[in-house]
Amino acid sequence: MGEAPDSAELAELARELGREAGTLLLAGWGQVHAVATKSSAHDLVTEMDRASERLIRERLARARPGDAVLGEEEGDTAGTADSGVRWIVDPLDGTVNYFYGQPAWAVSIAAEHDGQIVAGAVVAPGLGEEYVAVAGEGSWRIHGTRRERLRVRPPVALSDALVATGFGYRSERRACQGLLAAQLLPRVRDIRRVGAAAVDLCWLAQGRFDAYYEQGLHYWDWAAGGLVASEAGAVVADLAGGPASERLTVAAPQPLVDELAAALRGLGAGECP
């Protein structure tokens, strides 16, 4: 177990690295080619996803040499026993938006200490927005020289809620998720699909949605955004109220989160193939 690091410093480092990677990514925005696919033909990897993760790993190795790193493109790299810190990196969340020249994409970097997420940053250069969070202290949106403390919207009934969601890449999963969204749609105000889970969670924190849910997210998709949302007053959980997981991530303030989770359970969410 490592000595507890200063979480605010980790958050600041995450933001700095997110900005550097974001600047690199701006150069290829809307102009890159896919170099590979992952879970399906539409799950793209561009050379920029890889370059962004390489840059973040290099900078982390210099700034905090003993730390472990889990990154979307290169997987898990162990750290030294005395560090206790692991970085969770999505070098480019919203790759399809990025590929099409749309603005909702982000670099998402979180830091865990002894298995708990303690700091995070989501940097979205296409939107000109940055978000940081420090566990137990709060989360903020940084826009130019302005730094605003984030607070979710006061909870509404599910029938009045604007709910964001996302869809996985495999067609069997999408068919099932689409059916579920179609059944939820008449029971809520409306549904949004932004295309970058980290941005969804930050926008929830900022009051741009009332709630968010998605099946099949990877840890790197929600690690930093989940802290931004929970520090702004959202509960970020799975369907049974446990920690968010790949099976399902539901996020909203209480009691809306319970109402949404109950509705999703009733519709069989989390069971898509």
Q: How far is the CB of 193 from ligand IPD (least distance, A)?
A: 8
Which range binds ligand IPD by CB under 6 A, 56-64, 141-149, 209-217, 239-247?
209-217
Only one of the segments 20-28, 80-88, 125-133, 194-202 lies at the binding site for ligand IPD (rule: CB under 6 A); that segment is 194-202
The angle that helices 256-266 and 171-184 make with each other, rounded to 10 degrees, is 120
CA distance 46 to 50: 7
Interatomic CA distance for residues 264 and 241, integer angstroms: 12
For the chain, give the longest Cα–Cα distance.
Answer: 52
Q: Considering only CA atoms, which of 98, 88, 153, 96 is closest in space to residue 124?
A: 98
For ligand IPD, which residue of 60, 164, 217, 272 counts as binding (CB under 6 A)?
217
H-helix segments, 212-270: 219-231, 256-266
Residue 224 interacts with ligand IPD (CB under 6 A): yes or no: no
For residue 28 the two structure tokens come to 């290829």
Q: Which of 7, 83, 95, 177 binds ligand IPD (CB under 6 A)?
A: 95
Q: Closest CB to ligand IPD among 125 and 216?
A: 216
How buried is 116 (Cβ within 10 angstroms: 0-12 exposed, 13-18 middle, 19+ buried)?
exposed
Which range binds ligand IPD by CB under 6 A, 24-32, 77-85, 170-178, 195-203? 195-203
Q: Is 69 helix (H, G, I), strand (E, B) or coil?
A: strand
Q: Which stretch binds ligand IPD (CB under 6 A): 1-9, 93-101, 204-212, 225-233?
A: 93-101
Q: Is 221 among the residues that bind ligand IPD (CB under 6 A)? A: yes
- What's the rounded Cα separation, in Å, for the pair 56 and 272? 33
Task: For residue 163, state whether it binds ligand IPD (rule: CB under 6 A).
Answer: no
What is the identity of the amino acid at 23?
T
Stretch that binds ligand IPD, among 54-62, 63-71, 89-97, 153-161 (CB under 6 A): 89-97
> Residue 206 Cβ, how far from ligand IPD at the closest point, in Å?
17
Residues pairing with 142 in the sheet = 130, 147
131 binds ligand IPD (CB under 6 A): no
Question: In the complex with ligand IPD, which residue's Cβ is closer, 132 or 198?
Answer: 198
In the complex, the residues that contact ligand IPD under the rule CB under 6 A are 90, 93-95, 166-168, 195-197, 214, 216-217, 221
